[in-house]
C-alpha cells in the first residue's frame, strides 16, 4: 500500500489528479512541434506537443505513461513551456522539475525521461529568424 | 469484518492481512482482562496451570483446523518464523549426506530467503520454475528428488497469484523416497480444508492474521510418525517441546484458537461464496480491457485475483485508487522493496506487465457491493490513466 501522504508532495498530488494539459493540442495558428522519449525499462514514456508562433510557445499538451512523478513532471513541464521562447524553454530540466515537485532522488531517472522529451521537442522546433 | 463506514476504502488486501474478527478481539480482550490468566503458562503453580490450560485449549482449536493432533502443533511468532524453523531446522538436522533441498522460484520471501541461507551454508538448492500459469507440477517436483534430498519446501497457495499446489501428490512422491515435505499454508489454511494426516506432509506452516486472528502468532505442524528431524532456531527454556523456546502469550494463542474455530465453521461455504465474488470481480473488470489474469483460475485460492491492465503503471494505479480501494501491487512483502514481483517474473511476465499488475484479495468480510465498488473504481481509474497515454503505449505495455 502506498501512503499517499508520505510518498508524494502536495504538488505531485495536485498535478497527478488534475493532469493539466493532458491530451492533444487544440486547433490553432502556428507551427506544431513534437518531442518524445521512451524508456520502458524505467516505466516512462513522455510525448510533448507544442504550438510555436513567432518563436514563442503558445500552446502545449502532453501524453505520458509512468509513475505519479512522471505524470506530474510532464504536466508541470507542459505548463511551464507556455509563453516561453525556445531558448527560455531549455531552462526546464529534470533538476528543476525534481525541485518543484519535491521528488525523491530515486525518481530522477524517470524525470530525465521527461527532460529528454523536452529536449527532443526543442530540437525539432523550426528556428525563427 | 464488515465495513461499517460506506465511505471507507474497499479492502481487497486480505492476502496481506485479514481484519481482526470482532469475536477474536473480544476473546483476546477477555483473556487480557482476566487476572487469573496472567501467569506464565510454563509455571507450575495454579495461575500458570490456568494459563497453560487456555493455551492448550487454543492449541486444540488450531490443530482441528488442519486435522492434526494437538501435540503436533508448535506455536511460533508467525508464518515467517514457522517457515524458517521448518526449512532451516529440517535441512540442518538432516542426516549426513543429505544436503539437497528442493523449492520453487515463486515461494514467499520467508521460504525463498531461508533456502538462500541454506545455499550459503553449503546446501544445494534446486529452484523449480512454475508453468506460465503459475503451477508447480507434482511430476516436476518428483523429477527433482534425489537420494540426498533432505527437504522439499513449497507453498500450498501462492500469495501473489493464488494458484494452489497439489501437495498431496507431492507428499506421496516425497514420502516414497523418505524426504520430508514442508508446505507453507499461510494463505490456504483459511480457505481450503487441510488434513495433514491424510495429505502426508511432514511440516506445515500457517498463522493467525491471515484468517481473522491477531498478528504475532503462527504455528508449525510437525508430523508424529515418522517425525521429521528439526533443529530449533532459538534456545532458552525448551518451550514447545524444545522446538521454540520463549514464553507463550496466552491471549495471542486464545485469539489464534478462536480464529481457527471460526474459520473452520464456515470454511467450505465461505470458500464458495468468495470464489463467486472473485469471478464476479473478474467479469466486471472486463470493462477495463485489455487486461489479463496472472496465474491459473483453478485450482486457486478463493480470494486472490491478480490482474494486469495494459498500458498502466502500477504505482500510478495505486495512487489513482488510493482512499477508495486498498490493494497491493505485487506482494506487500516485495512491494516494500520497489522491485518488480519475482513471482510474476517467474511466470514469464515482462517488467512493464508486472508493473501493470495488481493483486486484489478478497476475504470473509467482502460483499458483492464491495466487489462492484472496487470494479467501478478500477475501471474509472484505468480509463483516466489511459486517456493520457501516448499513442502505441497501450499495445507496448502489456
- ipTM for the assembly: 0.92
- Look at residue B164 and tell me if it is in a domain: yes
Based on the domain organization, do B15 and B32 belong to the same domain? no
pTM for the model: 0.92
Alpha carbon distance A48, A25 (integer Å): 10
Domain assignments of chain A as residue spans, ordered by start: 4-123
Domain count, chain B: 2
The C-alpha angle with vertex B93 and arms to B88 and B97, in degrees rounded to 5, equals: 110
Based on the domain organization, do B259 and B271 belong to the same domain? no
- Look at residue B5 and tell me if it is in a domain: no
- How large is the average pLDDT for residues B298-303? 96
Based on the domain organization, do B371 and B283 belong to the same domain? yes
Asked if the Cβ–Cβ distance from A8 to B389 is below 8 Å, we say: no
The whole-number pLDDT of residue B334 equals 45
The whole-number pLDDT of residue B355 equals 87
Q: Is B31 a catalytic residue?
A: no
Asked if the Cβ–Cβ distance from B315 to A2 is below 8 Å, we say: yes
Grid-cell match 495471542, residue found: B252
> Which of B245, B265, B285 is the endpoint of a domain?
B265
**CATH code of the domain containing B333:** 3.90.1150.10
The whole-number pLDDT of residue A29 equals 85
For an interface test with A, which of B390, B391, B394 has the most A Cβ atoms less than 10 Å from its Cβ? B390
Fold of the CATH domain A4-123: Sufe protein. Chain: A (3.90.1010)
Residue B140's nearest CA partner among B113, B178, B189, B106 is B106
Based on the domain organization, do B118 and B192 belong to the same domain? yes
**CATH code of the domain containing B36:** 3.40.640.10
Question: Which phi and psi (to 5°) does residue B385 adopt?
Answer: -65, -40
> Which of B239, B265, B291 is the endpoint of a domain?
B265
Between residues B350 and B22, the one the model is more confident about: B22
**CA dihedral sign, ordered B100, B105, B111, B113:** positive
C-beta of residue B361 within 8 angstroms of C-beta of residue B304: yes
Q: Looking at the predicted structure, is the pLDDT value of residue B4 above 70?
A: no
A4: pLDDT confidence band, cut at 50, 70 and 90?
very low
Q: Looking at the predicted structure, is the pLDDT value of residue B331 above 50?
A: no
Cα distances (angstroms) measured from residue B128 to each of A13, B153, B240, B248: 42, 11, 33, 36
B332: pLDDT confidence band, cut at 50, 70 and 90?
very low
Based on the domain organization, do B40 and B16 belong to the same domain? no
- Look at residue B213 and tell me if it is in a domain: yes
Chain A and chain B share a number of CB contacts under 8 A equal to: 67
CA-based nearest distance B385→chain A, Å: 8
Give the pairing of strands B73-76 and B124-128. Answer: unpaired
The whole-number pLDDT of residue A129 equals 35
Based on the domain organization, do B219 and B337 belong to the same domain? no
Residue B329's nearest CA partner among B343, B315, B345, B310 is B315
Based on the domain organization, do B175 and B225 belong to the same domain? yes
Quick one: closest CA in B to A34, which residue? B390
Based on the domain organization, do B158 and B253 belong to the same domain? yes
Which chain A residues contact residue B389 at CB under 8 A? 45, 63-65
Based on the domain organization, do B261 and B271 belong to the same domain? no
C-beta of residue B38 within 8 angstroms of C-beta of residue B47: yes
Helix, strand or coil, per DSSP, at residue B74: strand
Structural domain span for residue B335: 10-20+267-396
Cα distances (angstroms) measured from residue B80 to each of B5, B91, B134, B215, B319: 33, 16, 22, 11, 29
Alpha carbon distance A109, A118 (integer Å): 15
Residues B204-263: tens digit of each pLDDT: 999 999 999 999 999 999 999 999 999 999 999 899 999 999 999 999 999 999 999 999
Asked if the Cβ–Cβ distance from B313 to A65 is below 8 Å, we say: yes
Based on the domain organization, do B300 and B215 belong to the same domain? no
Based on the domain organization, do B315 and B261 belong to the same domain? no
Closest Cβ opposite residue B390 in set A41, A43, A47: A47
C-alpha cell at B208: 493467525
Q: Looking at the predicted structure, is the pLDDT value of residue A41 above 80?
A: yes
- How large is the average pLDDT for residues B328-349? 73
For the beta carbon of residue A44, count every other beta carbon within 10 angstroms: 28
Per the prediction, chain A carries an average pLDDT of 91
> Which of B265, B299, B333 is the endpoint of a domain?
B265
Residue B108's nearest CA partner among B209, B217, B183, B169 is B183
Amino acid at each position: 500500500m502506498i501512503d499517499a501522504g508520505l510518498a508524494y508532495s502536495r504538488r505531485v498530488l495536485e498535478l497527478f489528479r488534475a493532469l493539466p494539459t493532458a491530451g492533444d493540442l487544440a486547433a490553432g495558428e502556428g507551427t506544431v512541434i513534437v518531442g518524445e522519449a521512451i524508456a520502458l525499462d524505467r516505466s516512462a514514456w513522455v510525448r510533448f506537443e507544442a504550438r510555436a508562433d513567432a518563436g514563442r510557445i503558445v500552446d502545449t499538451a502532453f501524453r505520458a505513461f509512468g509513475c505519479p512523478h512522471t505524470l506530474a513532471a510532464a504536466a508541470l513541464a507542459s505548463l511551464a513551456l507556455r509563453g516561453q521562447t525556445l531558448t527560455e524553454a531549455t531552462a526546464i530540466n529534470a533538476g528543476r522539475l525534481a525541485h518543484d515537485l519535491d521528488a525523491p532522488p530515486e525518481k530522477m531517472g524517470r524525470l530525465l525521461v521527461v527532460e529528454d522529451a523536452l529536449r527532443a521537442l526543442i530540437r525539432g522546433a523550426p528556428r525563427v529568424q | 469484518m464488515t465495513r461499517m463506514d460506506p465511505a471507507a476504502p474497499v479492502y481487497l488486501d486480505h492476502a496481506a492481512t485479514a481484519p481482526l474478527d470482532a469475536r477474536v478481539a473480544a476473546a483476546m480482550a477477555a483473556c487480557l482482562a482476566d487476572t487469573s490468566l496472567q501467569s506464565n503458562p510454563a509455571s507450575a503453580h495454579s495461575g500458570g496451570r490456568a494459563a497453560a490450560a487456555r493455551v492448550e485449549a487454543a492449541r486444540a482449536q488450531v490443530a482441528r483446523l488442519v486435522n492434526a493432533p494437538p501435540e503436533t502443533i508448535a506455536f511460533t511468532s508467525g508464518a515467517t518464523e514457522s517457515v524458517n524453523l521448518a526449512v532451516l531446522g529440517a535441512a540442518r538436522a538432516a542426516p549426513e549426506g543429505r544436503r539437497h533441498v528442493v523449492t520453487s522460484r515463486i515461494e514467499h520471501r520467508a521460504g525463498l530467503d531461508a533456502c538462500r541461507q541454506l545455499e550459503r551454508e553449503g546446501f544445494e538448492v534446486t529452484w523449480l520454475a512454475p508453468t506460465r500459469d503459475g503451477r508447480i507440477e507434482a511430476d516436476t517436483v518428483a523429477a527433482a528428488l534425489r537420494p540426498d534430498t533432505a527437504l522439499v519446501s513449497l507453498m500450498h497457495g501462492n500469495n501473489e497469484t493464488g494458484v494452489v499446489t497439489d501437495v498431496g501428490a507431492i507428499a506421496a512422491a516425497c514420502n516414497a523416497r523418505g524426504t520430508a515435505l514442508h508446505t507453507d499454508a499461510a494463505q490456504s489454511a483459511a480457505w481450503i480444508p487441510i488434513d495433514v494426516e491424510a495429505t502426508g506432509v511432514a511440516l506445515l506452516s500457517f498463522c493467525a492474521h491471515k484468517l481473522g486472528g491477531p498478528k504475532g502468532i503462527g504455528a508449525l505442524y510437525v508430523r508424529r510418525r515418522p517425525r521429521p528431524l528439526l533443529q530449533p532456531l532459538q534456545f532458552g527454556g525448551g518451550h514447545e517441546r524444545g522446538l521454540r523456546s520463549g514464553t507463550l502469550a496466552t491471549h495471542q494463542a486464545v485469539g489464534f484458537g478462536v480464529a481457527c474455530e471460526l474459520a473452520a465453521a464456515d470454511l467450505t461455504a465461505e470458500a464458495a461464496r468468495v470464489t463467486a465474488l472473485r469471478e464476479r470481480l473478474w467479469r466486471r473488470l472486463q470493462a477495463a480491457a485489455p487486461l489479463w489474469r496472472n496465474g491459473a483460475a483453478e485450482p486457486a485460492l478463493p480470494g486472490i485475483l491478480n490482474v494486469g491492465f495494459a498500458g498502466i503503471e502500477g504505482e500510478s494505479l495505486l495512487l489513482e485508487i488510493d482512499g477508495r480501494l486498498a490493494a497491493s501491487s505485487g506482494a506487500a512483502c516485495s512491494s516494500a522493496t520497489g522491485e518488480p514481483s519475482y513471482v510474476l517474473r517467474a511466470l514469464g511476465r515482462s517488467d512493464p506487465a508486472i508493473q501493470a499488475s495488481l493483486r486484489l484479495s478478497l476475504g470473509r468480510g467482502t460483499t458483492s457491493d464491495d466487489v462492484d465498488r472496487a470494479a467501478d473504481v478500477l475501471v474509472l481509474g484505468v480509463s483516466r490513466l489511459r486517456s493520457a497515454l501516448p499513442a502505441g503505449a497501450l499495445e507496448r505495455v502489456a
